[in-house]
Amino acid sequence: MRLARSDIGLKRVYPLLESLAALIVGVIGGFIVAAALGYDPVASISLILLSGLGNLEYLFSISMPLALSALAFILPLRAGLFNIGVEGQAYIGALAAIYILSLGLGFPLPVILAPLAGALAGFLIGVLKVYRGVNEVVSSIMLNWTLFYTVSFTVSRYLRDPLIVHQSVRVDRMLPALEALILTLAIVIAVHIILYRTTLGYHIRVMGSSPEALKYSGGSESRSIIVAMTLGGLLGGLAGTLQVYAVSGFIDVTMSAVFGTGFMGIAVGLIGRATPIGVLPASILISALIIGGHRLELRLGAPPELADVIIGVMVLALSAPYALRLLSLKLWG
């Protein structure tokens, strides 16, 4: 009995120890990169790791969209689907939020209505997979570019700022960081309940582990695919909504205010071990690294590429353990 309890305790602690070891490896890799490029490695790593913690309100503001985009990735992942279309879903969610806010409609309507645009994109990907056999990665990548140019055209033609023509109109009243944090916490808890406390979540997880067993559990593969992708799109749209409603306040024709939100969410989801609760600390960590990278450029006069490489090494080290585990399961079961 004691051995069994110790084994259970070790399984619970193991992910944390694995993440800590991966972070140490990433720090060592960043140290080597900074030294090799002629910068003070101690100062560089210290700035990247610690300076992002100086303004917690800003840290939480930028981490919440990343947490939501990670949820948009991991929920379909649990069904064995790779939702690389979170990026496009964030674009269209951001556009819908700007349009709703430009009409003078404030909280909570933007966070209720705007994500539906992302849900529609996810639904389309799911339908194409179920009824036309189109791989979700292929359709997601193509839809990302379609949505990019659709949003860019809409901003430049219909929602542009008269004074800054390459930008959209600005949000008059931003969503406070505390409200964004509370909203994100509620969504994280809701996704956790859906995945682990509902029949729908059970069917999604069964399909991800053994599609053949899904029919014996009373589930439908077609319905699970469409629902998982639609929910993923909804969360991706919400990530884009919060990116403009709580962080940037606008979008532009190059999508610079939203660009990378979906792709970075994939890394956050892997670092968080594809669990709803895990994405919260993972998103805060990655956001702190991003802020620290900006401080590195300002304090040491380093080019942005240095910060990008160091952060990239850390993110790769942190996400590699779970990514390799997924790959091994895919290849060898």
DSSP assignment of 219-248 equals --HHHHHHHHHHHHHHHHHHHHHHIIIIII
Residue 280 pLDDT > 90: yes
Residues 195-204: what's their mean pLDDT? 92
The values of phi and psi at residue 315, to 5°, are -65, -40
pLDDT given for residue 9 in this prediction? 54
Residues 53-66: what's their mean pLDDT? 91
Q: Is the residue at 186 inside a domain?
A: yes
Residue 160 bridge partners (DSSP): 168
Q: Is the residue at 201 inside a domain?
A: yes
Residues 148-154: what's their mean pLDDT? 95
pLDDT given for residue 2 in this prediction? 52
Residues 8-28: what's their mean pLDDT? 76
CATH of the domain at 156: 1.10.3470
List C-alpha distances in Å: 295 to 43, 46, 125, 257, 312: 11, 10, 39, 19, 16
Of 269 and 54, the structure prediction assigns the larger pLDDT to 269
Residue 57 pLDDT > 80: yes
pLDDT given for residue 169 in this prediction? 93
Our CA dihedral for 317, 320, 322, 325, rounded to 10 degrees, sits at -140
Task: Decide: 286 and 315 in contact? Cβ < 8 Å.
Answer: yes
List C-alpha distances in Å: 71 to 11, 107, 219, 265, 287: 23, 22, 22, 8, 16
List C-alpha distances in Å: 180 to 64, 174, 244, 267: 7, 10, 12, 21
Task: Decide: 184 and 191 in contact? Cβ < 8 Å.
Answer: no
Residues 194-210: what's their mean pLDDT? 89
Residue 72 pLDDT > 50: yes
Task: Report the alpha-carbon distance of residue 158 to residue 59 in Å, rounded.
Answer: 32
Residue 3 pLDDT > 50: no
Q: Is the residue at 47 inside a domain?
A: no
pLDDT given for residue 32 in this prediction? 92
DSSP state for residue 215 in the 8-state scheme:
G
Residue 65 pLDDT > 90: yes
Neighbours of 102 (CB within 10 A): 15
Non-local (6+) Cβ contacts of 247 within 8 A are: 61, 62, 65, 257
Residue 106 pLDDT > 80: yes
In the chain, the number of structural domains is: 1
Q: Is the residue at 48 inside a domain?
A: no
pTM of this structure: 0.91
Non-local (6+) Cβ contacts of 96 within 8 A are: 113, 114, 115, 116, 117, 237, 241
Residues 159-168: what's their mean pLDDT? 90
Q: Give the helix/strand (H/E) hosting 38.
A: none
Q: Is the residue at 18 inside a domain?
A: no
Q: Which residue in 190, 323, 217 sits closest to 268, CA to CA?
A: 323
Neighbours of 246 (CB within 10 A): 24
Q: Which residue in 264, 238, 260 sits closest to 316, CA to CA?
A: 264
> Over the chain, what is the mean pLDDT?
89
Residue 133 pLDDT > 90: yes
Q: Is the residue at 17 inside a domain?
A: no
Full residue range of the structural domain in which residue 194 is found: 55-298+305-311
Residue 332 pLDDT > 70: no
pLDDT given for residue 11 in this prediction? 62
pLDDT given for residue 329 in this prediction? 65
Residues 13-26: what's their mean pLDDT? 80
pLDDT given for residue 330 in this prediction? 64
Half-sphere exposure of 286 (CA within 13 A, CB side): 32
The structure tokens listed for 21 are: 């070891």
Neighbours of 122 (CB within 10 A): 33
Q: Is the residue at 73 inside a domain?
A: yes
Task: Decide: 293 and 307 in contact? Cβ < 8 Å.
Answer: yes
Residue 33 pLDDT > 80: yes
Residue 321 pLDDT > 90: no
Task: Decide: 51 and 295 in contact? Cβ < 8 Å.
Answer: yes
Q: Is the residue at 35 inside a domain?
A: no
The pLDDT > 70 percentage for the chain reads 95
